[in-house]
Amino acid sequence: MSSAEIQVRDLHKSFGDNHVLRGIDLEIGQGEVVCVIGPSGSGKSTLLRCVNLLEEPTKGQVFVGGTELTDPDVDIDAVRRRIGMVFQQFNLFPHLNVTENLTLPQRRVLGRDRATAARTAAENLARVGLAEKAQAYPSSLSGGQQQRVAIARALAMGPEVMLFDEPTSALDPELVGDVLAVMRRLAEEGMTMMVVTHEMTFAREVADRVVFMDGGVIVEEGSPGQVIGAPRHERTRHFLSRLLDPAMAEVEEEASDQVGKPGE
Q: What are the residues binding other proteins (CB under 8 A)? A: 52, 54, 77-78, 80-81, 83-85, 87, 89, 91-95, 104-105, 108-110, 139, 150, 153-154, 157
Q: Which is nearer to other proteins, 54 or 243 (CB)?
A: 54
Nearer to other proteins, 155 or 176 (CB): 155
Query: Please, which residue, 68 or 208, has the CB nearer to other proteins?
Result: 68
Which residue number, 30 or 91, has a Cβ lying nearer to other proteins? 91
Contacts of 141 (CB under 8 A, 6+ apart): 98, 133, 149
Give the residue with the Cβ less far from other proteins, 157 or 213. 157
Nearest by Cα to 45 from 191, 202, 167: 167
Q: Taking the complex as a whole, how short is the minimal distance between the CB of residue 2 and other proteins, in angstroms?
A: 25
Tell me if residue 106 falls in helix, strand or coil: helix
C-beta of 81: minimal distance to other proteins in Å?
Answer: 4
CB atoms closer than 10 angstroms to residue 226: 14
Question: Least distance from C-beta 42 to other proteins, angstroms?
Answer: 21
Q: How far is it, in rounded angstroms, from Cα 225 to Cα 35?
A: 13
Cα distances (Å, whole numbers) of residue 96 to 25, 135, 147: 39, 9, 15
Q: What are phi and psi of 123, to 5 degrees?
A: -60, -45
CB of 159 to other proteins, least distance (A): 9
Q: What is the CA radius of gyration of the chain?
A: 19
**Residue 135 exposure: Cα atoms within 13 Å on the Cβ side:** 0
Q: Three-state DSSP class for 164?
A: strand
Report in angstroms how near the CB of residue 164 gets to other proteins at its nearest.
12
Query: Can you say how many angstroms the Cα of residue 129 is from the centroid of all Cα atoms in its chain?
Result: 20
- By CB neighbour count within 10 A (0-12 exposed, 13-18 middle, 19+ buried), where does 67 fall? middle
Q: Choose between 79 and 259: whose C-beta lies nearer to other proteins.
A: 79
Least CB distance from residue 90 to other proteins, whole Å? 8
